[in-house]
Protein backbone atom coordinates (compact mmCIF):
# COMPACT_ATOMS: atom_id res chain seq x y z
CA UNK A 1 0.00 0.00 0.00
CA UNK A 2 2.84 2.40 0.84
CA UNK A 3 4.62 1.55 -2.41
CA UNK A 4 1.46 2.22 -4.39
CA UNK A 5 1.15 5.64 -2.80
CA UNK A 6 4.79 6.35 -3.65
CA UNK A 7 4.22 5.36 -7.29
CA UNK A 8 1.19 7.64 -7.52
CA UNK A 9 3.09 10.47 -5.87
CA UNK A 10 6.06 10.42 -8.24
CA UNK A 11 6.14 8.75 -11.67
CA UNK A 12 9.91 8.16 -11.41
CA UNK A 13 9.18 5.39 -8.90
CA UNK A 14 7.14 3.46 -11.51
CA UNK A 15 10.14 3.24 -13.83
CA UNK A 16 12.92 2.78 -11.26
CA UNK A 17 12.38 -0.09 -8.78
CA UNK A 18 15.65 0.63 -6.95
CA UNK A 19 14.63 4.21 -6.28
CA UNK A 20 11.18 3.01 -5.19
CA UNK A 21 12.62 0.54 -2.67
CA UNK A 22 15.06 3.11 -1.28
CA UNK A 23 12.30 5.67 -0.78
CA UNK A 24 10.07 2.96 0.73
CA UNK A 25 12.74 1.97 3.26
CA UNK A 26 13.51 5.60 4.14
CA UNK A 27 9.92 6.74 4.63
CA UNK A 28 7.92 3.65 5.65
CA UNK A 29 8.25 4.15 9.43
CA UNK A 30 6.94 7.71 9.26
CA UNK A 31 4.13 6.66 6.89
CA UNK A 32 3.09 3.80 9.17
CA UNK A 33 3.19 6.05 12.23
CA UNK A 34 0.68 8.37 10.55
CA UNK A 35 -1.65 5.50 9.62
CA UNK A 36 -1.74 3.62 12.93
CA UNK A 37 -4.19 4.78 15.57
CA UNK A 38 -3.43 4.19 19.23
CA UNK A 39 -6.24 2.47 21.09
CA UNK A 40 -6.16 1.37 24.71
CA UNK A 41 -8.56 -0.80 26.67
CA UNK A 42 -9.34 -0.10 30.30
CA UNK A 43 -11.61 -1.98 32.67
CA UNK A 44 -14.68 0.07 33.54
CA UNK A 45 -14.21 -0.67 37.24
CA UNK A 46 -12.65 -3.46 39.30
CA UNK A 47 -15.84 -5.52 39.62
CA UNK A 48 -17.03 -5.19 36.03
CA UNK A 49 -16.21 -7.55 33.18
CA UNK A 50 -16.66 -4.73 30.68
CA UNK A 51 -13.75 -2.95 29.04
CA UNK A 52 -13.85 0.57 27.67
CA UNK A 53 -11.93 1.52 24.54
CA UNK A 54 -9.95 4.72 24.97
CA UNK A 55 -8.44 6.51 22.01
CA UNK A 56 -5.21 8.37 22.65
CA UNK A 57 -4.91 12.00 21.59
CA UNK A 58 -3.27 12.52 18.20
CA UNK A 59 0.48 12.37 18.04
CA UNK A 60 1.99 15.79 18.49
CA UNK A 61 -1.03 16.90 20.53
CA UNK A 62 1.26 18.25 23.24
CA UNK A 63 2.81 20.58 20.69
CA UNK A 64 -0.43 22.55 20.23
CA UNK A 65 0.52 24.90 23.08
CA UNK A 66 -2.73 24.35 24.91
CA UNK A 67 -1.05 24.36 28.31
CA UNK A 68 -1.22 27.46 30.42
CA UNK A 69 1.78 29.70 30.30
CA UNK A 70 3.88 29.32 33.41
CA UNK A 71 5.59 32.37 34.76
CA UNK A 72 8.69 31.90 36.78
CA UNK A 73 9.65 34.26 39.54
CA UNK A 74 12.67 34.75 41.68
CA UNK A 75 13.35 31.91 44.12
CA UNK A 76 14.35 32.48 47.71
CA UNK A 77 17.03 30.21 49.19
CA UNK A 78 15.78 27.75 51.80
CA UNK A 79 17.01 28.31 55.36
CA UNK A 80 18.36 24.92 56.44
CA UNK A 81 18.59 25.95 60.08
CA UNK A 82 14.77 25.83 60.30
CA UNK A 83 14.65 22.08 59.67
CA UNK A 84 13.74 20.15 62.79
CA UNK A 85 16.08 17.35 63.76
CA UNK A 86 13.51 14.56 64.05
CA UNK A 87 15.30 11.79 62.22
CA UNK A 88 13.73 8.84 63.99
CA UNK A 89 15.49 5.60 63.17
CA UNK A 90 12.43 3.52 64.03
CA UNK A 91 10.07 5.18 61.52
CA UNK A 92 8.57 2.68 59.13
CA UNK A 93 8.11 3.75 55.53
CA UNK A 94 6.99 0.34 54.27
CA UNK A 95 3.49 -0.22 52.93
CA UNK A 96 1.28 -2.10 55.34
CA UNK A 97 -1.70 -2.58 53.02
CA UNK A 98 -0.02 -5.32 50.94
CA UNK A 99 1.82 -8.51 51.73
CA UNK A 100 5.49 -8.63 50.94
CA UNK A 101 7.30 -11.27 48.91
CA UNK A 102 10.62 -12.53 50.21
CA UNK A 103 13.22 -13.16 47.55
CA UNK A 104 16.34 -15.22 48.11
CA UNK A 105 19.48 -13.32 47.24
Q: Are 39 and 17 within 8 A, CB to CB?
A: no
pTM value is 0.34
Give 8 or 93, the one with higher predicted confidence.
8
Predicted confidence (pLDDT) per residue in 3-30, tens digit: 888 888 888 888 888 888 888 888 888 8
DSSP H helical ranges for 1-105: 2-9, 12-15, 17-35
Domain spans, the chain: 2-60
Amino acid sequence: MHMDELKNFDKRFERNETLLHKKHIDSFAVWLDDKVKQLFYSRENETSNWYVALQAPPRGFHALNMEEETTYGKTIPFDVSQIEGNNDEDENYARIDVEGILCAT
